[in-house]
Amino acid sequence: MTGERPAGGPSGGLLEHLGELCAAGLEYLQARLALAGIEAKEALIHFGIILGLFAGAVAVMVFGYLFLCIAITVLVAQLLHISPGWVILALAVLHFLIAAVAVTAAVLKLKTSVFSATLAELKKDQQWLSHTSRQS
């Protein structure tokens, strides 16, 4: 046998079949990865557009909030017949108080444990492994 197979006849052995199967599997995987790469680029553009729209909306909301604060300042100053400077000061103090509460809440959230159940399970696994290794 020279390793050539007759035309239309049975192919080589098991190793040749496995090689062809692996080659076909790799071609399939390569095609799927190429498709995933194309879709990943499209998804990146899609989410970039969404992020840009959200950034624009946040910018517009910030300006709207500033104009609202200015309007409230002017209206309250006119209503109470006081200088707008005092209303601006009160509004600034109110904002600093809200910011302080938000920062305090964030610091308290940072102190809470995350992944506590996972860490407890890992500790149990570690104890079990050290217990079984001592018995061996």
Mean pLDDT of 100-112: 94
Q: What are phi and psi of 82, to 5 degrees?
A: -125, 170
Q: What is the pTM of this model?
A: 0.56
Q: ∠46-52-57 over CA atoms, to 5°?
A: 130
> Is the pLDDT higher at 119 or at 61?
61
Q: Which two tokens stand for residue 32?
A: 């799927």
How confident is the model over 23-34, as pLDDT tens digits?
999 999 999 999
134 has pLDDT over 80: no
Map residue 51 onto helix, strand or coil: helix
Of 40-49, 107-116, 126-135, the range with the lowest mean pLDDT is 126-135
Closest CA to 37 of 27, 25, 29: 29
- Tens digits of per-residue pLDDT, 30-79? 999 999 999 999 999 999 999 999 999 999 999 999 999 999 999 999 99
Residue 1 pLDDT > 50, yes or no? no
Contact (CB, 8 A) for 91 and 110: no
Q: What is the pLDDT of residue 87?
A: 95
Q: Say if residues 83 and 77 touch (Cβ distance below 8 Å).
A: yes
What token pair was written down for 30?
């390569």
